[in-house]
Each structure stands twice: as C-alpha cells, then as structure tokens.
Amino acid sequence: GESVGLHLPTLSVQEGDNSIINCAYSNSASDYFIWYKQESGKGPQFIIDIRSNMDKRQGQRVTVLLNKTVKHLSLQIAATQPGDSAVYFCASGRQLTFGSGTQLTVLP
C-alpha cells in the first residue's frame, strides 16, 4: 500500500529563521500532495498543495518542492514565527494517507 512519512518527528528553529520540513512517499503514481498544519486542539489546516506536473509551488511565506525522482517533497517556511509552531503533515491522494507529522517548535 501507499505510505507517506516524514523524516523528523521534531524540528526546532529560531524565530525569524527559515524552516524546512521533509516528507517521503512510496507510491510513484501519487500525483497530488497536500501539506497540513495542526495546532494543539484543532483539526488540520490546509497550507498548500502541489500536483505532480509541478516541482515547485509558492504561497504566502511557504514553498513546497516536489522531487518525483526520489519521491520526496518539502515544505519551506520563510521567516518562521511563533504562530507557526504546530505539527505539520504531508498527505497524498483523495483517500488521504498521512505521514506521522513533524512537530515544529519556534524558539524566541
């Protein structure tokens, strides 16, 4: 079956620095990926998505990079802020398969 995983369970960054959160997937046929952010006590919140015909997509302070050759995607957050502290998930497919999540902690 398809699996989607994240490389690091935790990531700590200084406020103002850039954050990079990585994700790997197993199914080379996966053609749609989404990044979600989940704050404590809340449901996952959509951040950005990317289709397999793209290798980069930018949003507000976020960029997602997709490398289909090595089946890897990353989420880059520019100028990380305290409000960015949350668990970040990558997911793929309509029947979303989620990775285990990376807990991002922003240090003052």
Query: What count of residues does the chain have?
Result: 108
Lookup result for tokens 């935790």: 10
CB of 108 to other proteins, least distance (A): 27
Residue ranges in contact with other proteins by CB under 8 A: 31-32, 34, 36, 41-46, 49, 51, 89, 91, 94-101
CB 20 to other proteins: min, Å: 21
Q: How far is CA 4 from CA 14, 18, 65, 81, in A?
A: 27, 23, 15, 26
Tell me the closest approach of the beta carbon of residue 45 to other proteins, in angstroms: 7
